[in-house]
Homo-oligomer: A and B are copies of this chain.
Amino acid sequence: MTLTSFSQMVLPSLEADIQKVVATSTIGNDQSLTDILAYHFGWNIKGSQPGKRIRPLLLLLATESCGESWQEAIPAASAIELLHNFSLIHDDIEDKSDTRRGRRTAWKEYTLPLALNAGDSMYSLAYISMERLSQFKSEETTLQSLRIFSQTCLNLTKGQHLDISFEDQDQVSIAQYWQMIQGKTAALIASCTQLGAVIAESDPTTQEAYRQFGLNLGLAFQVHDDLLGIWGDPEVTGKSAASDILTRKKSLPILFGLEQNQDFAALWRKEITPDNVKQLAATLREEGAFDYTQKQAALLTEKARNYFQETGAQGEAAAVLEELMNLLIKRKH
């Protein structure tokens, strides 16, 4: 089994399940709220690509690799995808983003008040989806999953709070950066792998290994993404060269560069334009930010791999889970 064949096996069930849950947002025979959610997902829109569903795939693979069938984890997998998409709808409002996946963002298409509220609907639907776990599992397991889910939600908002706050802060420490990505990126991925083990009713040590595996995978993924945001190939990333410098994103290499307080930091305080951004990226690399960030990514990848070994993941699903891990860490875009 490969990631492709596993995806082909599970994604139709997952998509059908998500659509079934979203359909309950119909108000009598009024579809207008459901339409906003469907638009965000890109359903029934010509040329729209479905999402890669990486998070639910992680969850379903974790479940299978603990020896439980993925079908029993579908309510949780849908919940994770709904939660992720709720956060995208709200993030787009908070960041004033006009486009996502090549289309207008929900708030641009439907107005801010309706999209904000539709995001809240999606959040409620995520919980409604998760509560259905009790169709397959004990009430104890369902409740444990809900507790993990709620803590993940809270952590997501903590990470987002820091991310928004960083924009207006001159001084952001690397310690604050780790706190931010732990909430904003890694918490959700950690809960995917942990929930797989919880739903399979593995022992607490195994559950913790799965959680740590996901947490470090999420951190490694983000740090790698930070590297690509400055030194990635524009033809592969689909973004302009050194785009994170141009948008003044407080990513790890940039925070490292600012802490050195040398030429990069001096240039950063002046105007940044498409003309001088390559110079900034080169200076930042000379001051050691590339090596530092790559080393952090390598350390986190190593940790993720070690925890993956500790999980004792078994069977064909374990191999596919490893394939997905490698894809996330070594990806070029």
Contacts and interface: CB of A to CB of B under 8 A. Distances in A.
Given A143-B139, A154-B125, A117 B164 contact: yes
A32 to B, nearest CB: 6
B139 A117 contact: no
Contact of A27 (B113, B127, B131, B162): B162
- Determine how many copies of this chain the complex contains: 2
A90 interface: yes
Interface residues on A, range: 35 or more
Interface stretch (A144-152, A276-284, A321-329): A144-152
Contact of A146 (B32, B131, B158): B131
A331 interface: no
A interface majority secondary structure: helix
Given A150-B131, A165-B32, A117 B27 contact: no
B33 A120 contact: no
B164 A150 contact: no
A185 interface: no
A13 interface: no
Interface in A144-176: 146-147, 150-151, 153-154, 156-158, 160-162, 164-165
Contacts of A153: 120, 123-124, 127
29 contacts: A27-B158, A27-B161, A27-B162, A27-B179, A27-B183, A30-B162, A32-B161, A33-B161, A90-B116, A90-B117, A90-B120, A93-B116, A94-B117, A95-B113, A113-B164, A114-B164, A114-B165, A116-B116, A118-B157, A120-B157, A121-B154, A121-B158, A121-B161, A123-B153, A124-B153, A127-B150, A128-B147, A128-B154, A139-B143
